[in-house]
Structure 1
């Protein structure tokens, strides 16, 4: 199957390389000529252990290529993934969806056959419905479906996370789109990794809910650590005792400087905004943000 990947940042490049290693023909697209030139030279613009070797292997096999030309990338593709940035907008905490919508419009104008437009970027609930509207408006005659396929990649372990995932989340509305997504992830289906198929909104929410919950665990154990210092308890022993409870688990229960990185801060803020907008505030997430 031919796949186009829009965006060669962390998520787009890792996903594109791994899809090509599944055996698919993958064309990665970016607007930055310097980035494409770098990739064509075999240089990786991000640091991820093993990515350069895996990329070289699939380029050599003819399954992976890079281009500035969106139309040629989409030509003959059955699915096109949007993996562009969704940074937090200044002032209001909303995710900036301008890059996602611009990509959706460009895809619509370039496509001339049935295609599944898959959002890989982390986006608020309802975004894929808007993508659907943008594509339909830009190319009213185009036959297409929209799918939500959020990523769950840890920096430094992204390839392993992609190849051996805890789960793959796929939000679709039609059987045709579901079949395309099933074909894309067939290597994981065959190895019995969990594939969670949902509606669009549930797939979008799973990503935010998961990240917010992990941020909550980190914040909670740090609060417990502060209390341990006051009462003379050992937070490492407390964390171990808690983590052995199967309902809690031992991951993300290590006291430290707090959560950070490129995802948790913006995703917790975005989820809090979603709750406020729908008059269903998530008080624990709002507390986590303030701590």
Structure 2
């Protein structure tokens, strides 16, 4: 063998290969790629199911000491008695809470009925009682549904009151129920008169506030209105009987450069959490459409 063909370079002391950083970058990219493919294609689901099936006996074996301790603890007499006493105490607490809620509900009904009886003495004899079933789920309107309808001779346009003032007006009538649009609905309007000055106005719903308010629009800056003035129905529309309490003036402000005043009012009626109401037949026996304004 010729000496010129012999490799005279010394062998490396350690076997050389890719650097650690290169391995880290390649493996990280591969891991991200596998996660993306698994999220898109769910290719690793069978693998995970297989691993879970293989590890199930190991998990079961690891849980046995815990289950044994729990079983022993639950069979200790004092603990069992304590648990039974706690269960009885919870049951009694639930019963007491139910009784308290029923008593509070009955007390609220009693207060409302007493107030309604006082209000009914000032109304025409054709007023009838009704119960509010629920509020309308429409988030863009303020309406409630009562348990009286065509079968109870409820007419469209009938004023609805609680024990404090006008609550709204019947706008739709069904066989056994009716829909009442509250005064604070943005499409509702009611003619009113200031009991102190005798000035007539038109009150519109202003539902933007948390509790809902009314607004007197197109009032001159020289209008004679003060906070605390009481507004009642004027009766000019032929639907609402005159003299029903509607609202109290809350704030009077002047709109800059418009020549008009902004008058906000708080409804006399409770627009929330009312249980019982009075429905009064309209003054025109329903021959006129409901007083509802749609801008």
Check whether TM > 0.5: no
Return the index of the structure with the highest Cα Rg: 2
TM norm structure 1: 0.23
TM norm structure 2: 0.22
- Normalized per residue, the structure richer in helix is 1
- Normalized per residue, the structure richer in strand is 2
